[in-house]
Amino acid sequence: MVCMLINWLFPISRLAAPQWEVVVVDQYGKPVEGLTVRETWQNYSVEATGHEADRQTDANGRATFPAQNSEYSVLHQIAGTASAFVHWNVHASYGPHATVFAFGKGLEGTATTGNFVTDWTGSPSLMRSRIVVGPR
């Protein structure tokens, strides 16, 4: 009972964004070196603003982001979700979200899953994406 109360009231570390391994290629499948890959993440239930981190692709078109953690209590998450619902948050997202995209040298692209932008929503803890870039 005490442990449950502690989890409800006191912050604990939770995964905010996964470790993300990215490979950036051009339309012919060749790796693209020297592009900026940006990871953005936010937990809409507990944060008013988001976060971002940039990496540069290496000679193999690779960039890797470490996992990100944040600390919040269960009570804080419930209160944040309720507040967003009451105020009818125009973003209409709740919980953790993260995505990656690449740009530079007149090229850009985003990680996709099928026909949709890849939107990480809390799991898995490791993501691997291939971004195909093309002219802006």
The model carries a pTM of: 0.81
Give me the number of domains the chain comprises. Answer: 1
Range of the domain at 82: 2-135
Residue with the bigger pLDDT between 55 and 87: it is 55
Which CATH number fits the domain that encloses residue 116? Answer: 2.60.40.1120
Cis peptide before 66 (omega within 30 of 0): no
How many CB atoms are located within 10 Å of the residue 68 CB?
17
- Sequence-separated (6 or more) residues with CB below 8 Å from residue 1: none
Whether the per-residue pLDDT at 29 is higher than 60: the answer is yes
pLDDT at 36: 98
